[in-house]
Amino acid sequence: MERKEFRDLASPEEAHAAIDSLSLEGGLERVSLENARGRVLAARLDAELDVPGFDRASLDGYALRAADTFGADEADPARLEVVGEVHAGEEPDVSLEDGQAAEISTGAVMPSGADAMVPVERTDVDDDTGDVLIRTSVAPGDNVMFAGADVAAGERALGPGTTITPRDIGLLSALGIDEVPVRAPPKVGIVSTGDELVRPGGDVASERGEIYDVNSYTIAAGVEDAGGEAVLYPHAGDEQDEMERILREAATECDLVLSSGSTSASAVDVIYRVIEEQGELLLHGVSVKPGKPMLVGRLDDSAYVGLPGYPVSAMMVFRTFVAPAIREAAGLPEPKAATVSGTMAREERYGEGRMRLLPVGLVEDSDGETLVYPVDKGSGATTSLAEADGVVEVGPETDYLEAGESVTVRLFSPDVRPPTLLGVGEDDPTLNRLLDRLENPRYLSVGSRPGVRRFREGVPDVAVVAGPLDRDLEADELGRWNREWGLIVQAGNPHELDGLGDLVDRDLKFVNRTTDSGLRSSLEATLDELAADRDESASELREAIDGFELGLRAYESPARTVIAGDADVALGLRETADRLDLGFVPVGEQPVRILATPDRTSKTGVRELEGVLDGDLEDV
């Protein structure tokens, strides 16, 4: 039988390109939350409710009106009448008035009329009257976790391409999501060829040159480790018809078929002939050692890769060329070590004399060096873990970590990698859609003002700032868009609002954004203009608005309060009002700017974002 020589050997780059040209994707499927760990999200998941869904006490103590505690201290405590109790899991049956307080448990719903709470350690009880003596003063909002403070309705919870970890499942559970859309793992059929092979457990006749089939199981384990679903097929001999039958059966059932053996150029190795005759042969022979007799092609509608027969060669080729393609099709990152070293991006102070497990995120600077930044929103916030990559152990003797100090990060999982882009700043629906187009972004919606502060500290790659800037930043503007903001009301505008003047002059319940928000900054600036036009004090106008001082964190949360009937008016965007079928009273337009740290504009993620921004934002 005529021997067939190898074709011209392909370079490793050409081999990668040939495999990349094959479609290995397994499609999409929906899985229950209990089966979601390790799977890859196929679409963005937004919060459909606030977490928590109510204003709740952060500690055991007393719910009260903050104004009743002003001036109170150890020497001169405030005396309040205790009018009831509120326990976790109960609906409050008490409403507070001036001079009253209610005993409250950690996690319980704040009663109507209360805007703060005092921990029990700062109180005493008058045994004769039952009154509570408050030995400290508090401000509105102290010791209260407001609705949406952890996760806000409408907020981007997890993006497409997220590999779901136990901490993400905690976040999804908090949002009430029980089923998620994920990428189906590529199904990989494994066929070992050669008359000499015997499956483990069988009897080997060494005198006839028989050996155990090692490749089927080692390659199957590699497929599973890379995120694929391995399917073992019966071992095929060296006869072409039988080999073709098994290979074509695997091709009809799998996204990728892997064979090992029968790929060299000898007369008895005929597998390349099967692919040439029944499919398409893209490559045969690679300039790599070990692994020269590699084969890449298509068989029916399935991708095909032929691996060498020697186990070491087969695994080297698999790990180098095939495993990365399976991971990419499964949406999984390349694995990394369980710990990484980096330097602190900014100073982090701590002085409680106890060991601290500090959740941190990772980002690479312009030189590719790993920067470590704290991610800590409090013990009650599940997003502290969802936004972190690992933990830095801070010893009890350490008061603070200096910027530039070397630290070791214990990763949550070995496959954690820094995001290609780290952004901080304002939350915005257009921004959410932009992020969906990037490979592996991470965005911390902390608000415009904290975003600017972290930007000045040199932590993120980009900051997203909405509304007026207090002062100039040393930054490169990648792009901007305008968004229309105003007052969100019930559908049909039942109170017939015309503008901010109505909000000031009429008895309406208002829901604001937090002071960190760019929307809040624009509102305050517009109120200043209104005050100047009326020749009135801006502070008096703000005080005239019922609810002005207490704001919610994300752009959709105030609108949800209007839907629930707990407010008449909310600060928000026209896009939010349209999405939720609410009324909208326009007040103005606000620029949203994406600012890049000047020395990181060459980063791949920053360039990728700039490329998306250069397109038509109307299509986003």
CATH class of 339-411: mainly beta
pLDDT attached to residue 399: 85
Give 149's strand partners.
none
Those residues with Cβ within 8 angstroms of residue 267's Cβ, 6 or more apart along the chain or in another chain: 1, 2, 3, 4
Closest of 243, 199, 194 to residue 220, by C-alpha = 199
Tens of pLDDT, residue by residue over 453-512, are: 999 988 999 999 998 776 778 899 999 999 999 999 999 999 999 999 999 999 999 999
pLDDT attached to residue 263: 56
Distance, in Å, from the CA atom of 87 to the CA atom of 52, rounded to the nearest integer, reads 16
What ranges do the domains of the chain cover?
12-26+185-330, 28-51+150-183, 56-145, 339-411, 421-620
Distance, in Å, from the CA atom of 72 to the CA atom of 64, rounded to the nearest integer, reads 13
Within 10 angstroms of residue 114's Cβ, the number of other Cβ atoms is 26
E strands present in 467-582: 476-489, 510-513, 551-552, 569-573
Mean pLDDT is highest, among 65-69, 222-226, 408-412, for 65-69
Tokens of 532: 């100047």
| Domain 28-51+150-183 is found in CATH 3.90.105.10 | yes
- Cα separation of the two ends of the chain: 61
Distance, in Å, from the CA atom of 283 to the CA atom of 281, rounded to the nearest integer, reads 6
Q: Which SS3 state, helix, strand or coil, does residue 303 take?
A: strand
Closest of 2, 112, 13 to residue 64, by C-alpha = 112
pLDDT attached to residue 117: 97
User: CA Rg, the chain, in Å?
Assistant: 31
For domain 12-26+185-330, the CATH superfamily is MoaB/Mog-like domain (3.40.980.10)
Q: Which residue has the tokens 């809040």?
A: 520
Those residues with Cβ within 8 angstroms of residue 314's Cβ, 6 or more apart along the chain or in another chain: 215, 218, 219, 260, 291, 307, 308
Q: Are 333 and 163 in contact (CB under 8 A)?
A: yes
Better pLDDT: 272 or 401: 401
DSSP category for residue 3: -
150, pLDDT greater than 60:
yes
Given pLDDT bands bounded at 50, 70 and 90, which one contains residue 619? Answer: low
Report the pLDDT averaged over residues 590-601.
94
603, pLDDT greater than 90:
yes
CATH class of 421-620: alpha beta
Tens of pLDDT, residue by residue over 544-580, are: 999 999 899 888 999 999 999 999 999 999 999 999 9
Whether 28-51+150-183 and 339-411 share one fold: the answer is: no
Q: Identify the CATH number of the domain defined by range 56-145.
A: 2.170.190.11
Distance, in Å, from the CA atom of 437 to the CA atom of 445, rounded to the nearest integer, reads 18
Q: Are 436 and 378 in contact (CB under 8 A)?
A: no
Tens of pLDDT, residue by residue over 401-413, are: 999 999 999 887 7
Q: Which residue has the tokens 């089927």?
A: 216
Given pLDDT bands bounded at 50, 70 and 90, which one contains residue 1? Answer: very low
